[in-house]
Amino acid sequence: MHELSIAQNIIEIISEQCVKNGHSRIESVNLRIGRASGIMSDALIFAFDAIKADTIAHGAVMHIVEVPVSGHCNDCSGDFIVEEVYILSCPLCGGSSFRVVGGREMDIIDMEVSCAGCGFRCAMDLLQAGLSMHTPCHRGTMFYSEGTILLTQEEEQGESKSRYEDP
């Protein structure tokens, strides 16, 4: 269940940003997750809820917007959006020469925080701050401004691994 590692990384990132910006508590976090990202939304929410207890995100609620898979067909030059996770052919013409252009992302959009001292709630736009956790197809780098989360795919063993790296 790699969702647990992802949930740990999300808590690290949002907690660090919350404290860094003078806030005392995280009320909610909003994510955008592609249907073809390999991340199960329910499992991620379960993992987040299970490990947030002793953090400044202890009362936080995670909201997830699922992004459908989208692509571009090289045969018919059409753009398409599908609800399926796997695409075997272009849904417009049946062609087999296409590329997936969306549906693999995992972004932290924003979070609602309480300010230290006054308890005032405000929203922090993490996507605009460069804190996007974007990864194409579970390979490559998910990034944010001060550290990097790397997701690697162990194709032979069928296991996904996630780890946090500070530069």
Per residue in 81-128, pLDDT (tens digit) is 998 888 999 999 999 999 999 999 999 988 888 766 555 555 655 655
Q: What is the pLDDT of residue 125?
A: 58
Q: What's the CATH number for 3-68+103-165?
A: 3.30.2320.50
Average pLDDT, the chain: 75
Q: Which of 164, 132, 124 is nearest to 33 (CA)?
A: 132
Instruction: Encode pLDDT of 25-58 as tens digits.
Output: 898 999 999 999 999 999 999 999 999 999 999 9
**pLDDT confidence band for 142 (50 / 70 / 90):** very low
Cβ neighbours for 137, distance < 8 A, ≥ 6 positions apart: 36, 37, 38, 100, 104, 153
Chain-centre distance for alpha carbon 125: 14
